[in-house]
Amino acid sequence: MVRIQAIIISRYPANLAAGLLVSFGGVLALALAAQMFAPTGTAATHTLTSAMFYGYLLYIFLSDSLWRIGYSVRQDQIQGTLE
Amino acid sequence: MKPRTLYACLDIAAWSAYARYRELASYPGWFLLDVFIPIIIAAVPILLGRAVGGASTAANFAQRAGTTNYAAFLLIGANTFLMTLRSFWDMGLWLRKEQQTGTLESLYTTPADRRWILAGLATFNLARGSVNFVLSFVLGCWLFAVNPLQGNYAVALVFLVVGAIPLYALSLLYGAVVLQLKETNALIRIAQSLFSLAMGIYYPVTVLPPLARALAMLVPPTWVTHGMRAALLDTGYLLGTWPRDVAVLVAMGLVGPPLALAVLRHTEHALQRGAGLGEF
């Protein structure tokens, strides 16, 4: 099953690159936005950026785990391979 | 025989724009979505900023961006970002859709010059984008209790109009990449991420590290966003005065379209040789 998923993902390299860029690009843009509002010259800015990154990584991990399982089951159902 | 007179060429552009209008008029929900999306894009950092900055939100923002009016600053960024994305969607998706439905090959055999078909599409997209920009900006200003009637609107309009030419040239380059790689969604997501970082939706590009700032300066939306903000919120122009910033956009507008058309033509020829134009 892991191999199947790896093959499918490797068939669409642009999609893979887009997924990575969207994840990190989005959180980086928001982290930079948050820095605009933080007081200057304090460690709070770095703490906030780090917290956002770690929070986002956790969110991506959980969300991807749930979506990928649900989506692949549905995909198998649509393709007729689940039965 | 290709149409030679200006009237005939403008007629092609007008019909191309009308066809796109008829297509989009069937989905009025998209119009509403286009008005609300920039407000949502701007609302996220506004609420985040208020949570981070507390009582000194505006003062903290002003230290880095040069204005206390962060809501208008972010609304301008979000709207120019959506205009950029929309131009990419309309050009890239249109080419891809024509390719998928099999009408792109047919279009190439008609006497209509493709440049005028694309000019019609771009004009309609610009008109639609400008209407959405105004509605979204006014609605956003009302929601965040900001006065929208401030700054130099004439100069802001100059940036928008002059910047549209290199912007559509860029979207044509994107269209060429879409034709070649045939992966519209992935490419639009990549473009979305890169532009969200490069053009400074949430921040002025001057806060970026030197290399990132230099790369950001190569894309026209950066100059449009920064110029409009400077004109409306007095945040300062990238080269000191507005004519210099506009001159950069004019230069991009002179180089961009011929370059984009040459790349598109090269891609089309390469695909036609391999019989890939009508395939999906």
- Which of helix, strand or coil describes residue B274? coil
Which pLDDT band, with edges at 50, 70 and 90, does A44 fall under? Answer: low
Averaged pLDDT for residues B7-28: 86
Domain spans of chain B, in order of start: 6-273
In 3D, which of A11, A31, A75 has the Cα closest to residue B202? Answer: A31
Within 13 Å and on the Cβ side, how many CA atoms surround B43? 13
Test mutation, A11, A20, A37, A49, chain B, max B CBs within 10 A: A37
- Please return the burial class of B102, using the count of CB atoms within 10 Å of its CB with bins 0-12, 13-18 and 19+: exposed
Q: Please name the residue that has the structure tokens 């780090």.
A: A50
Domain spans of chain A, in order of start: 2-79
Please check whether residue B148 is in contact with residue B228, taking contact to mean a CB–CB distance below 8 angstroms.
no
Rounded Cα–Cα distance for residues B83 and B230 (Å):
18
Please check whether residue B182 is in contact with residue B268, taking contact to mean a CB–CB distance below 8 angstroms.
no
DSSP state for residue B183 in the 8-state scheme: -
Q: Which two tokens stand for residue B155?
A: 């100069």
Averaged pLDDT for residues B230-258: 91
Q: Å from A7 to nearest chain B CA?
A: 18
Which pLDDT band, with edges at 50, 70 and 90, does B163 fall under? Answer: very high
pLDDT attached to residue B177: 84
pLDDT attached to residue B278: 56
Within 13 Å and on the Cβ side, how many CA atoms surround B125? 26
Q: Which two tokens stand for residue B54?
A: 């507390």
In angstroms, what is the C-alpha Rg of chain A? 18
Q: Å from B19 to nearest chain A CA?
A: 31
Averaged pLDDT for residues B152-173: 90
Which residues does chain B have within 8 Å of residue A12's beta carbon, measured at their own beta carbons?
183, 186
DSSP state for residue B200 in the 8-state scheme: T
pTM score, two decimals? 0.83
Spatial neighbors of B195 by CB under 8 A, at least 6 apart, are B81, B84, B85, B219, B221
Q: Is the complex ipTM higher than 0.95?
A: no
Q: Å from B51 to nearest chain A CA?
A: 9
Interface contact A40-B60, CB threshold 8 A: yes
